[in-house]
Structure 1
Protein backbone atom coordinates (compact mmCIF):
# COMPACT_ATOMS: atom_id res chain seq x y z
CA UNK A 1 0.00 0.00 0.00
CA UNK A 2 1.51 3.31 -1.11
CA UNK A 3 -0.66 5.55 1.01
CA UNK A 4 -1.55 6.26 4.60
CA UNK A 5 -5.00 7.13 5.90
CA UNK A 6 -6.27 8.16 9.31
CA UNK A 7 -8.47 5.98 11.51
CA UNK A 8 -11.57 7.53 9.96
CA UNK A 9 -10.31 6.88 6.42
CA UNK A 10 -9.00 10.41 5.78
CA UNK A 11 -6.17 10.54 3.21
CA UNK A 12 -2.91 11.64 4.84
CA UNK A 13 -0.08 10.91 2.41
CA UNK A 14 0.48 8.75 -0.64
CA UNK A 15 2.39 8.11 -3.84
CA UNK A 16 1.01 7.35 -7.30
CA UNK A 17 2.86 6.67 -10.53
CA UNK A 18 1.32 7.33 -13.93
CA UNK A 19 -2.18 6.37 -12.86
CA UNK A 20 -4.20 6.22 -16.09
CA UNK A 21 -6.26 9.34 -16.62
CA UNK A 22 -5.44 10.79 -13.19
CA UNK A 23 -4.07 14.11 -14.45
CA UNK A 24 -5.34 14.18 -18.02
CA UNK A 25 -8.55 15.92 -16.94
CA UNK A 26 -8.98 18.81 -14.47
CA UNK A 27 -8.92 17.59 -10.88
CA UNK A 28 -8.79 19.12 -7.40
CA UNK A 29 -6.90 17.43 -4.57
CA UNK A 30 -7.56 18.40 -0.93
CA UNK A 31 -3.85 17.81 -0.32
CA UNK A 32 -0.61 19.54 -1.29
CA UNK A 33 0.88 17.89 -4.36
CA UNK A 34 4.43 17.45 -5.63
CA UNK A 35 4.68 16.11 -9.16
CA UNK A 36 8.04 14.71 -10.25
CA UNK A 37 8.07 14.57 -14.04
CA UNK A 38 10.52 11.92 -15.20
CA UNK A 39 10.12 12.25 -18.97
CA UNK A 40 7.90 13.98 -21.47
CA UNK A 41 6.76 17.51 -22.12
CA UNK A 42 3.57 19.50 -22.36
CA UNK A 43 1.63 22.15 -20.49
CA UNK A 44 0.79 22.24 -16.79
CA UNK A 45 -2.50 23.95 -16.02
CA UNK A 46 -3.02 25.25 -12.47
CA UNK A 47 -6.29 27.13 -11.96
CA UNK A 48 -6.31 29.89 -14.58
CA UNK A 49 -2.57 29.81 -15.34
CA UNK A 50 -0.58 27.56 -17.68
CA UNK A 51 3.14 26.70 -17.76
CA UNK A 52 5.20 24.64 -20.15
CA UNK A 53 7.09 21.68 -18.71
CA UNK A 54 9.74 19.28 -19.95
CA UNK A 55 11.13 16.47 -17.83
CA UNK A 56 12.93 16.09 -15.60
CA UNK A 57 10.97 18.73 -13.73
CA UNK A 58 9.08 19.42 -10.50
CA UNK A 59 5.54 20.78 -10.45
CA UNK A 60 3.59 21.84 -7.36
CA UNK A 61 -0.06 22.37 -6.39
CA UNK A 62 -1.81 23.72 -3.32
CA UNK A 63 -5.00 22.19 -1.84
CA UNK A 64 -8.09 22.45 -4.06
CA UNK A 65 -6.24 23.96 -7.02
CA UNK A 66 -7.68 22.78 -10.32
CA UNK A 67 -4.78 21.11 -12.14
CA UNK A 68 -4.16 18.90 -15.16
CA UNK A 69 -1.45 17.97 -17.64
CA UNK A 70 -1.75 18.50 -21.38
CA UNK A 71 0.99 16.35 -22.90
CA UNK A 72 2.81 16.81 -26.19
CA UNK A 73 4.89 13.65 -25.78
CA UNK A 74 4.32 10.65 -23.48
CA UNK A 75 4.75 11.73 -19.86
CA UNK A 76 5.93 9.59 -16.95
CA UNK A 77 5.66 10.95 -13.44
CA UNK A 78 5.39 10.25 -9.73
CA UNK A 79 2.73 12.14 -7.77
CA UNK A 80 3.17 12.75 -4.05
CA UNK A 81 0.21 14.11 -2.09
CA UNK A 82 0.16 14.98 1.60
CA UNK A 83 -2.58 16.46 3.75
CA UNK A 84 -1.91 19.27 6.20
CA UNK A 85 -3.16 16.98 8.99
CA UNK A 86 -0.09 14.85 8.30
CA UNK A 87 2.44 17.62 7.71
CA UNK A 88 1.78 21.35 8.07
CA UNK A 89 4.17 23.40 5.94
CA UNK A 90 3.38 26.55 7.93
CA UNK A 91 4.34 24.93 11.23
CA UNK A 92 7.58 23.68 9.66
CA UNK A 93 8.33 26.76 7.57
CA UNK A 94 11.77 27.27 9.14
CA UNK A 95 12.82 23.72 8.31
CA UNK A 96 11.56 23.48 4.73
CA UNK A 97 10.89 27.13 3.66
CA UNK A 98 8.47 25.99 0.96
CA UNK A 99 5.41 28.10 1.78
CA UNK A 100 5.39 31.04 -0.62
CA UNK A 101 8.12 29.38 -2.67
CA UNK A 102 6.74 26.03 -3.85
CA UNK A 103 3.17 26.53 -2.63
CA UNK A 104 0.86 29.49 -2.04
CA UNK A 105 2.57 31.94 -4.33
CA UNK A 106 1.10 34.09 -7.08
CA UNK A 107 4.29 35.67 -8.41
CA UNK A 108 6.41 32.72 -9.50
CA UNK A 109 5.69 29.57 -11.50
CA UNK A 110 4.87 26.47 -9.41
CA UNK A 111 7.66 24.53 -11.08
CA UNK A 112 11.41 24.04 -11.22
CA UNK A 113 13.59 22.48 -13.89
CA UNK A 114 16.04 20.01 -12.39
CA UNK A 115 19.17 18.25 -13.59
CA UNK A 116 19.44 14.51 -14.15
CA UNK A 117 21.53 14.27 -10.98
CA UNK A 118 18.89 16.11 -8.95
CA UNK A 119 16.18 13.95 -10.49
CA UNK A 120 18.02 10.79 -9.47
CA UNK A 121 18.44 12.02 -5.90
CA UNK A 122 14.76 12.93 -5.57
CA UNK A 123 13.62 9.67 -7.15
CA UNK A 124 15.76 7.66 -4.73
CA UNK A 125 14.30 9.59 -1.81
CA UNK A 126 10.76 8.96 -3.05
CA UNK A 127 11.53 5.25 -3.47
CA UNK A 128 12.71 5.12 0.15
CA UNK A 129 9.46 6.78 1.23
CA UNK A 130 7.53 4.28 -0.88
CA UNK A 131 9.31 1.34 0.77
CA UNK A 132 8.45 2.71 4.22
CA UNK A 133 4.82 3.27 3.23
CA UNK A 134 4.55 -0.36 2.09
CA UNK A 135 5.98 -1.80 5.31
CA UNK A 136 3.50 -3.43 7.68
CA UNK A 137 5.30 -1.83 10.63
CA UNK A 138 5.77 1.53 8.89
CA UNK A 139 6.70 4.55 10.96
CA UNK A 140 4.88 7.88 10.60
CA UNK A 141 7.92 9.62 12.02
CA UNK A 142 10.19 8.15 9.34
CA UNK A 143 7.75 9.01 6.54
CA UNK A 144 7.46 12.59 7.85
CA UNK A 145 11.24 12.83 7.93
CA UNK A 146 11.44 11.71 4.28
CA UNK A 147 8.76 14.24 3.33
CA UNK A 148 10.49 17.06 5.18
CA UNK A 149 13.80 16.25 3.52
CA UNK A 150 12.14 16.08 0.10
CA UNK A 151 10.44 19.46 0.55
CA UNK A 152 13.66 21.03 1.83
CA UNK A 153 15.54 19.74 -1.22
CA UNK A 154 12.82 21.02 -3.56
CA UNK A 155 12.97 24.45 -1.90
CA UNK A 156 16.73 24.55 -2.28
CA UNK A 157 16.47 23.65 -5.96
CA UNK A 158 13.81 26.31 -6.50
CA UNK A 159 15.94 28.97 -4.82
CA UNK A 160 18.92 28.09 -7.00
CA UNK A 161 16.69 28.26 -10.06
CA UNK A 162 15.41 31.71 -9.08
CA UNK A 163 18.93 32.96 -8.38
CA UNK A 164 20.11 31.75 -11.79
CA UNK A 165 17.12 33.44 -13.40
CA UNK A 166 17.92 36.74 -11.68
CA UNK A 167 21.46 36.61 -13.03
CA UNK A 168 20.18 36.21 -16.59
CA UNK A 169 17.07 38.37 -16.32
CA UNK A 170 17.48 41.70 -14.48
CA UNK A 171 14.63 42.73 -12.21
CA UNK A 172 12.03 45.16 -13.46
CA UNK A 173 11.90 47.97 -10.88
CA UNK A 174 8.33 48.92 -11.78
CA UNK A 175 7.08 45.34 -11.46
CA UNK A 176 8.88 44.84 -8.15
CA UNK A 177 7.23 48.01 -6.89
CA UNK A 178 3.88 46.73 -8.19
CA UNK A 179 4.42 43.55 -6.17
CA UNK A 180 5.01 45.60 -3.02
CA UNK A 181 2.03 47.85 -3.68
CA UNK A 182 -0.24 44.88 -4.30
CA UNK A 183 0.80 43.20 -1.05
CA UNK A 184 0.13 46.48 0.76
CA UNK A 185 -3.16 47.52 -0.86
CA UNK A 186 -4.86 44.33 -2.11
CA UNK A 187 -7.68 44.78 0.42
CA UNK A 188 -8.69 48.20 -0.83
CA UNK A 189 -7.43 48.62 -4.40
CA UNK A 190 -9.02 46.12 -6.78
CA UNK A 191 -8.56 47.76 -10.19
CA UNK A 192 -5.42 47.73 -12.37
CA UNK A 193 -5.90 51.47 -13.01
CA UNK A 194 -5.42 52.12 -9.27
CA UNK A 195 -1.95 50.59 -9.40
CA UNK A 196 -1.12 52.19 -12.74
CA UNK A 197 -1.79 55.58 -11.13
CA UNK A 198 0.43 54.78 -8.15
CA UNK A 199 3.20 53.65 -10.49
CA UNK A 200 2.74 56.63 -12.83
CA UNK A 201 2.38 54.41 -15.89
CA UNK A 202 -0.50 53.79 -18.27
CA UNK A 203 -2.80 50.79 -17.63
CA UNK A 204 -1.63 49.35 -20.96
CA UNK A 205 2.01 49.58 -19.92
CA UNK A 206 1.25 47.97 -16.56
CA UNK A 207 -0.58 45.12 -18.27
CA UNK A 208 2.20 44.41 -20.79
CA UNK A 209 4.89 44.52 -18.13
CA UNK A 210 2.95 42.27 -15.74
CA UNK A 211 2.30 39.63 -18.39
CA UNK A 212 5.95 39.68 -19.45
CA UNK A 213 7.33 39.65 -15.88
CA UNK A 214 4.83 37.51 -13.95
CA UNK A 215 3.04 35.72 -16.78
CA UNK A 216 -0.28 37.10 -15.55
CA UNK A 217 -2.39 40.20 -16.06
CA UNK A 218 -2.71 42.78 -13.25
CA UNK A 219 -6.36 41.73 -12.78
CA UNK A 220 -5.32 38.10 -12.31
CA UNK A 221 -2.69 39.06 -9.76
CA UNK A 222 -5.11 41.26 -7.81
CA UNK A 223 -7.75 38.52 -7.66
CA UNK A 224 -5.24 35.80 -6.83
CA UNK A 225 -3.77 37.90 -4.02
CA UNK A 226 -7.20 38.17 -2.40
CA UNK A 227 -7.87 34.46 -2.84
CA UNK A 228 -4.47 33.62 -1.39
CA UNK A 229 -5.25 35.62 1.76
CA UNK A 230 -8.69 34.03 2.00
CA UNK A 231 -7.17 30.53 1.80
CA UNK A 232 -4.63 31.51 4.43
CA UNK A 233 -7.36 32.57 6.85
CA UNK A 234 -9.51 29.52 6.14
CA UNK A 235 -6.58 27.20 6.67
CA UNK A 236 -4.66 28.83 9.50
CA UNK A 237 -7.26 30.55 11.68
CA UNK A 238 -10.47 29.74 13.50
CA UNK A 239 -12.26 32.78 12.08
CA UNK A 240 -15.78 32.14 10.84
CA UNK A 241 -16.59 32.61 7.14
CA UNK A 242 -18.46 35.78 8.06
CA UNK A 243 -15.47 37.16 9.96
CA UNK A 244 -13.09 36.32 7.12
CA UNK A 245 -15.36 38.14 4.69
CA UNK A 246 -15.34 41.17 7.01
CA UNK A 247 -11.56 41.12 7.40
CA UNK A 248 -11.14 40.94 3.64
CA UNK A 249 -13.51 43.92 3.34
CA UNK A 250 -16.28 42.19 1.38
CA UNK A 251 -19.76 43.63 1.75
CA UNK A 252 -21.11 40.37 3.16
CA UNK A 253 -20.21 36.69 3.51
CA UNK A 254 -22.42 35.67 0.58
CA UNK A 255 -20.62 37.95 -1.86
CA UNK A 256 -17.31 36.67 -0.50
CA UNK A 257 -18.44 33.06 -0.94
CA UNK A 258 -19.48 33.70 -4.54
CA UNK A 259 -16.15 35.42 -5.30
CA UNK A 260 -14.19 32.58 -3.69
CA UNK A 261 -16.11 29.85 -5.50
CA UNK A 262 -15.79 31.64 -8.84
CA UNK A 263 -12.00 31.51 -8.58
CA UNK A 264 -11.51 28.16 -6.83
CA UNK A 265 -14.57 26.13 -7.97
CA UNK A 266 -15.41 25.37 -4.31
CA UNK A 267 -17.05 27.32 -1.49
CA UNK A 268 -15.00 28.62 1.47
CA UNK A 269 -16.64 26.04 3.72
CA UNK A 270 -15.83 23.14 1.39
CA UNK A 271 -12.24 24.39 1.08
CA UNK A 272 -11.86 24.49 4.85
CA UNK A 273 -13.47 21.08 5.35
CA UNK A 274 -11.48 19.39 2.58
CA UNK A 275 -8.05 20.94 3.08
CA UNK A 276 -8.29 21.04 6.86
CA UNK A 277 -7.70 23.75 9.39
CA UNK A 278 -4.38 23.84 11.16
CA UNK A 279 -5.01 23.82 14.88
CA UNK A 280 -1.37 24.31 15.86
CA UNK A 281 -1.14 27.64 14.05
CA UNK A 282 -3.57 30.50 14.55
CA UNK A 283 -2.50 33.63 12.79
CA UNK A 284 -3.35 37.02 14.20
CA UNK A 285 -4.23 38.89 11.03
CA UNK A 286 -5.03 42.52 11.48
Structure 2
Protein backbone atom coordinates (compact mmCIF):
# COMPACT_ATOMS: atom_id res chain seq x y z
CA UNK A 1 0.00 0.00 0.00
CA UNK A 2 1.57 3.29 -1.14
CA UNK A 3 -1.16 5.72 -0.04
CA UNK A 4 -4.59 5.09 1.49
CA UNK A 5 -7.26 6.89 3.49
CA UNK A 6 -9.44 5.11 6.03
CA UNK A 7 -12.44 6.56 7.86
CA UNK A 8 -13.79 5.17 11.13
CA UNK A 9 -15.86 6.12 14.11
CA UNK A 10 -13.63 6.53 17.16
CA UNK A 11 -15.59 3.72 18.85
CA UNK A 12 -14.33 1.39 16.10
CA UNK A 13 -10.72 2.55 16.43
CA UNK A 14 -8.46 -0.35 17.55
CA UNK A 15 -7.35 -0.35 21.19
CA UNK A 16 -3.75 -0.01 19.97
CA UNK A 17 -2.89 1.07 16.46
CA UNK A 18 0.44 0.88 14.64
CA UNK A 19 1.56 0.73 11.00
CA UNK A 20 4.73 0.51 8.97
CA UNK A 21 3.62 3.66 7.10
CA UNK A 22 3.68 7.34 7.92
CA UNK A 23 0.24 8.31 9.21
CA UNK A 24 -1.74 11.53 9.50
CA UNK A 25 -4.81 11.23 11.73
CA UNK A 26 -7.53 13.88 11.55
CA UNK A 27 -10.44 13.98 14.00
CA UNK A 28 -12.57 16.20 16.23
CA UNK A 29 -13.74 15.77 19.79
CA UNK A 30 -12.43 15.74 23.34
CA UNK A 31 -10.51 13.10 25.25
CA UNK A 32 -7.06 11.58 25.66
CA UNK A 33 -4.73 9.89 23.20
CA UNK A 34 -1.37 8.25 23.76
CA UNK A 35 1.63 7.83 21.48
CA UNK A 36 4.21 5.25 22.55
CA UNK A 37 2.54 5.13 26.00
CA UNK A 38 2.75 8.89 26.60
CA UNK A 39 -0.66 10.48 27.28
CA UNK A 40 -1.88 13.77 25.78
CA UNK A 41 -5.25 15.46 26.18
CA UNK A 42 -7.06 16.87 23.16
CA UNK A 43 -10.11 18.97 22.35
CA UNK A 44 -11.96 20.32 19.30
CA UNK A 45 -10.20 19.80 15.95
CA UNK A 46 -7.02 17.74 15.91
CA UNK A 47 -4.36 16.41 13.58
CA UNK A 48 -1.73 13.87 14.62
CA UNK A 49 1.47 12.94 12.76
CA UNK A 50 3.02 9.50 13.27
CA UNK A 51 6.20 7.90 11.97
CA UNK A 52 6.34 4.18 11.13
CA UNK A 53 5.84 1.80 14.06
CA UNK A 54 4.70 4.39 16.56
CA UNK A 55 1.92 3.05 18.77
CA UNK A 56 -1.22 5.15 19.31
CA UNK A 57 -4.31 4.72 21.49
CA UNK A 58 -7.37 6.95 21.48
CA UNK A 59 -9.79 7.44 24.40
CA UNK A 60 -12.53 9.85 23.23
CA UNK A 61 -15.26 11.19 25.49
CA UNK A 62 -17.83 10.64 22.72
CA UNK A 63 -18.05 8.82 19.39
CA UNK A 64 -16.62 10.93 16.56
CA UNK A 65 -15.47 10.44 12.95
CA UNK A 66 -11.75 9.81 12.46
CA UNK A 67 -9.86 9.93 9.16
CA UNK A 68 -6.41 8.39 8.65
CA UNK A 69 -4.04 9.04 5.76
CA UNK A 70 -1.33 6.41 5.28
CA UNK A 71 1.62 6.94 2.98
CA UNK A 72 4.68 4.76 2.57
CA UNK A 73 8.14 6.29 2.93
CA UNK A 74 8.95 5.32 -0.66
CA UNK A 75 5.83 7.11 -1.91
CA UNK A 76 6.41 10.46 -0.22
CA UNK A 77 9.83 10.70 1.42
CA UNK A 78 9.93 13.48 4.02
CA UNK A 79 13.74 13.47 3.90
CA UNK A 80 13.77 13.93 0.13
CA UNK A 81 11.17 16.73 0.30
CA UNK A 82 12.54 18.42 3.42
CA UNK A 83 13.33 21.65 1.54
CA UNK A 84 9.71 22.06 0.37
CA UNK A 85 8.03 20.84 3.58
CA UNK A 86 9.93 21.45 6.82
CA UNK A 87 8.09 18.65 8.61
CA UNK A 88 10.99 16.32 9.45
CA UNK A 89 11.85 17.14 13.05
CA UNK A 90 8.78 19.33 13.43
CA UNK A 91 5.79 17.10 12.65
CA UNK A 92 7.66 13.79 12.49
CA UNK A 93 10.74 12.45 14.27
CA UNK A 94 10.76 14.80 17.26
CA UNK A 95 10.70 13.25 20.72
CA UNK A 96 10.35 16.58 22.57
CA UNK A 97 7.18 18.00 20.98
CA UNK A 98 3.54 16.98 21.25
CA UNK A 99 2.94 15.00 18.02
CA UNK A 100 -0.52 16.56 17.53
CA UNK A 101 -1.78 20.03 16.67
CA UNK A 102 -5.08 21.63 17.60
CA UNK A 103 -6.51 23.12 14.40
CA UNK A 104 -8.95 25.92 13.73
CA UNK A 105 -12.28 24.80 12.29
CA UNK A 106 -11.28 26.39 8.98
CA UNK A 107 -7.99 24.46 8.74
CA UNK A 108 -9.68 21.24 9.87
CA UNK A 109 -12.34 21.47 7.15
CA UNK A 110 -9.75 22.36 4.50
CA UNK A 111 -7.52 19.39 5.37
CA UNK A 112 -10.57 17.11 5.49
CA UNK A 113 -11.37 18.31 1.97
CA UNK A 114 -7.80 17.44 0.89
CA UNK A 115 -8.27 13.97 2.41
CA UNK A 116 -11.39 13.56 0.25
CA UNK A 117 -9.51 14.69 -2.86
CA UNK A 118 -6.80 12.11 -2.16
CA UNK A 119 -9.42 9.40 -1.68
CA UNK A 120 -11.01 10.34 -5.01
CA UNK A 121 -7.67 10.30 -6.89
CA UNK A 122 -6.65 7.02 -5.25
CA UNK A 123 -9.93 5.45 -6.41
CA UNK A 124 -9.79 6.77 -9.98
CA UNK A 125 -6.17 5.68 -10.67
CA UNK A 126 -5.70 8.32 -13.38
CA UNK A 127 -2.21 8.51 -14.99
CA UNK A 128 -1.64 11.84 -13.23
CA UNK A 129 -3.14 10.74 -9.89
CA UNK A 130 0.20 9.97 -8.22
CA UNK A 131 1.54 13.47 -8.88
CA UNK A 132 -1.71 15.05 -7.71
CA UNK A 133 -1.80 12.96 -4.52
CA UNK A 134 1.81 13.88 -3.69
CA UNK A 135 0.91 17.54 -4.11
CA UNK A 136 -2.05 17.14 -1.72
CA UNK A 137 0.17 15.36 0.84
CA UNK A 138 2.75 18.13 0.53
CA UNK A 139 0.04 20.72 1.15
CA UNK A 140 -1.26 18.91 4.25
CA UNK A 141 2.27 18.68 5.67
CA UNK A 142 2.99 22.32 4.82
CA UNK A 143 -0.15 23.48 6.64
CA UNK A 144 0.75 21.30 9.62
CA UNK A 145 4.32 22.62 9.67
CA UNK A 146 3.11 26.23 9.48
CA UNK A 147 0.65 25.67 12.35
CA UNK A 148 3.21 23.90 14.51
CA UNK A 149 5.84 26.55 13.85
CA UNK A 150 3.44 29.37 14.72
CA UNK A 151 2.58 27.63 18.01
CA UNK A 152 6.28 27.29 18.89
CA UNK A 153 6.94 30.94 17.96
CA UNK A 154 3.96 32.08 20.04
CA UNK A 155 5.33 30.31 23.10
CA UNK A 156 8.69 32.04 22.61
CA UNK A 157 7.01 35.42 22.09
CA UNK A 158 5.07 34.94 25.32
CA UNK A 159 8.40 34.31 27.06
CA UNK A 160 7.57 30.77 28.05
CA UNK A 161 11.17 29.95 28.80
CA UNK A 162 12.01 26.26 29.23
CA UNK A 163 13.23 24.99 32.57
CA UNK A 164 17.01 25.47 32.58
CA UNK A 165 17.79 21.95 33.78
CA UNK A 166 15.41 20.40 31.24
CA UNK A 167 16.90 22.49 28.43
CA UNK A 168 20.45 21.55 29.42
CA UNK A 169 19.43 17.89 29.64
CA UNK A 170 18.10 18.08 26.07
CA UNK A 171 21.43 19.52 24.84
CA UNK A 172 23.41 16.86 26.70
CA UNK A 173 21.18 14.08 25.41
CA UNK A 174 21.63 15.17 21.79
CA UNK A 175 25.41 15.10 22.32
CA UNK A 176 25.83 11.92 24.37
CA UNK A 177 22.87 9.58 23.74
CA UNK A 178 24.96 7.14 21.70
CA UNK A 179 27.44 6.54 24.50
CA UNK A 180 25.60 7.46 27.73
CA UNK A 181 22.34 5.72 28.54
CA UNK A 182 22.21 6.12 32.33
CA UNK A 183 20.28 8.90 34.07
CA UNK A 184 23.10 9.44 36.58
CA UNK A 185 25.49 10.60 33.83
CA UNK A 186 23.18 13.52 32.98
CA UNK A 187 22.35 14.49 36.56
CA UNK A 188 26.07 14.40 37.46
CA UNK A 189 26.87 16.65 34.49
CA UNK A 190 24.26 19.14 35.74
CA UNK A 191 25.30 18.79 39.41
CA UNK A 192 21.77 17.91 40.52
CA UNK A 193 20.11 14.78 41.86
CA UNK A 194 18.37 12.21 39.69
CA UNK A 195 15.08 13.18 41.33
CA UNK A 196 15.50 16.92 40.62
CA UNK A 197 16.34 16.23 36.99
CA UNK A 198 13.44 13.81 36.59
CA UNK A 199 10.93 16.34 37.93
CA UNK A 200 12.24 19.14 35.69
CA UNK A 201 12.24 16.99 32.54
CA UNK A 202 8.80 15.48 33.25
CA UNK A 203 7.30 18.94 33.75
CA UNK A 204 8.85 20.31 30.53
CA UNK A 205 8.42 17.36 28.14
CA UNK A 206 5.72 15.21 29.82
CA UNK A 207 8.25 12.34 29.77
CA UNK A 208 10.88 11.06 32.16
CA UNK A 209 14.59 11.39 31.29
CA UNK A 210 14.79 7.59 30.92
CA UNK A 211 11.92 7.63 28.42
CA UNK A 212 13.63 10.38 26.41
CA UNK A 213 16.97 8.56 26.43
CA UNK A 214 15.27 5.42 25.14
CA UNK A 215 13.24 7.33 22.52
CA UNK A 216 16.31 9.18 21.27
CA UNK A 217 18.22 5.92 20.76
CA UNK A 218 15.25 4.30 19.00
CA UNK A 219 14.70 7.36 16.80
CA UNK A 220 18.32 7.25 15.66
CA UNK A 221 18.12 3.50 15.10
CA UNK A 222 15.03 3.94 12.91
CA UNK A 223 16.76 6.66 10.89
CA UNK A 224 19.86 4.54 10.31
CA UNK A 225 17.78 1.51 9.33
CA UNK A 226 15.68 3.57 6.90
CA UNK A 227 18.20 6.07 5.56
CA UNK A 228 21.38 3.98 5.24
CA UNK A 229 22.57 0.61 3.98
CA UNK A 230 24.61 -0.03 7.13
CA UNK A 231 24.34 -3.51 8.61
CA UNK A 232 22.47 -4.04 11.88
CA UNK A 233 25.81 -4.88 13.50
CA UNK A 234 27.27 -1.54 12.34
CA UNK A 235 24.19 0.36 13.55
CA UNK A 236 24.34 -1.37 16.93
CA UNK A 237 27.99 -0.41 17.29
CA UNK A 238 27.33 3.23 16.30
CA UNK A 239 24.62 3.45 18.96
CA UNK A 240 26.92 2.15 21.68
CA UNK A 241 25.78 -1.48 21.84
CA UNK A 242 28.64 -3.96 22.01
CA UNK A 243 26.30 -6.83 21.08
CA UNK A 244 24.00 -6.61 18.03
CA UNK A 245 21.69 -9.22 19.57
CA UNK A 246 21.23 -7.08 22.70
CA UNK A 247 20.52 -4.11 20.41
CA UNK A 248 17.92 -6.18 18.52
CA UNK A 249 16.18 -7.13 21.79
CA UNK A 250 16.30 -3.50 22.98
CA UNK A 251 14.81 -2.29 19.68
CA UNK A 252 12.10 -4.97 19.60
CA UNK A 253 11.01 -4.22 23.17
CA UNK A 254 10.41 -0.55 22.25
CA UNK A 255 9.17 -0.82 18.67
CA UNK A 256 7.42 -4.18 18.65
CA UNK A 257 9.49 -5.75 15.88
CA UNK A 258 13.15 -6.55 15.23
CA UNK A 259 15.47 -4.12 13.40
CA UNK A 260 15.56 -6.59 10.50
CA UNK A 261 11.77 -6.70 10.21
CA UNK A 262 11.53 -2.91 10.57
CA UNK A 263 13.92 -2.42 7.65
CA UNK A 264 12.01 -4.99 5.56
CA UNK A 265 8.63 -3.36 6.23
CA UNK A 266 9.59 0.33 6.09
CA UNK A 267 12.20 -0.10 3.38
CA UNK A 268 15.41 1.80 2.66
CA UNK A 269 14.80 5.36 1.57
CA UNK A 270 15.59 6.82 -1.83
CA UNK A 271 17.85 9.19 0.17
CA UNK A 272 20.16 6.26 1.01
CA UNK A 273 20.20 5.13 -2.60
CA UNK A 274 21.08 8.63 -3.82
CA UNK A 275 24.00 8.96 -1.39
CA UNK A 276 25.72 5.75 -2.47
Q: What TM-score comes out, normalization by structure 1 length?
A: 0.90
Give the counterpart of 1:124 among 113, 128, 145. Answer: 113
Aligned counterparts of 2:214 and 2:267: Cα–Cα separation in 1: 23
Aligned counterparts of 2:221 and 2:52: Cα–Cα separation in 1: 13
**Within the alignment, does 1:97 sit opposite 2:51 as a pair?**
no
Aligned residue in 2 for 1:158: 148
Count of residue pairs the alignment pairs up: 273
SS at match of 1:281: helix
SS at match of 1:95: coil
* Per-residue deviation, residues 175-204 of structure 1 (Å, max 9, x unmatched): 222111100000111111111111122211
Give the counterpart of 2:245 among 234, 254, 269. Answer: 254
Aligned residue in 2 for 1:177: 168
Aligned counterparts of 1:269 and 1:36: Cα–Cα separation in 2: 31
Maintained 8 Å contact 2:80/2:270:
no
Give the counterpart of 1:234 among 207, 220, 225. Answer: 225
Aligned counterparts of 1:20 and 1:212: Cα–Cα separation in 2: 29
Aligned counterparts of 2:148 and 2:248: Cα–Cα separation in 1: 33
SS at match of 1:227: helix
Maintained 8 Å contact 1:56/1:115:
yes
Deviation at 1:166, TM superposition (A): 3.0
* Per-residue deviation, residues 69-97 of structure 1 (Å, max 9, x unmatched): 11222222211110011010011111111
**Within the alignment, does 1:80 sit opposite 2:69 as a pair?**
yes
Deviation at 1:129, TM superposition (A): 2.0
Q: Which runs of 5+ in 1 are unaligned?
A: 1-10
Maintained 8 Å contact 1:101/1:158:
yes
Aligned counterparts of 1:111 and 1:27: Cα–Cα separation in 2: 16
Aligned counterparts of 1:31 and 1:215: Cα–Cα separation in 2: 26
Give the counterpart of 1:29 among 1, 16, 19. Answer: 19
Moved over 6 A (4+): none
SS at match of 1:97: coil
Aligned residue in 2 for 1:55: 44
Maintained 8 Å contact 2:10/2:66:
no
Deviation at 1:283, TM superposition (A): 9.6
Change (3 A) 1:21 1:251: farther
**Within the alignment, does 1:216 sit opposite 2:207 as a pair?**
yes
SS at match of 1:33: strand
Maintained 8 Å contact 1:31/1:64:
yes
Aligned counterparts of 1:99 and 1:253: Cα–Cα separation in 2: 28
Q: Cα RMSD between the aligned structures?
A: 1.7
Q: What TM-score comes out, normalization by structure 2 length?
A: 0.93
Change (3 A) 1:136 1:188: closer
Change (3 A) 1:161 1:53: same
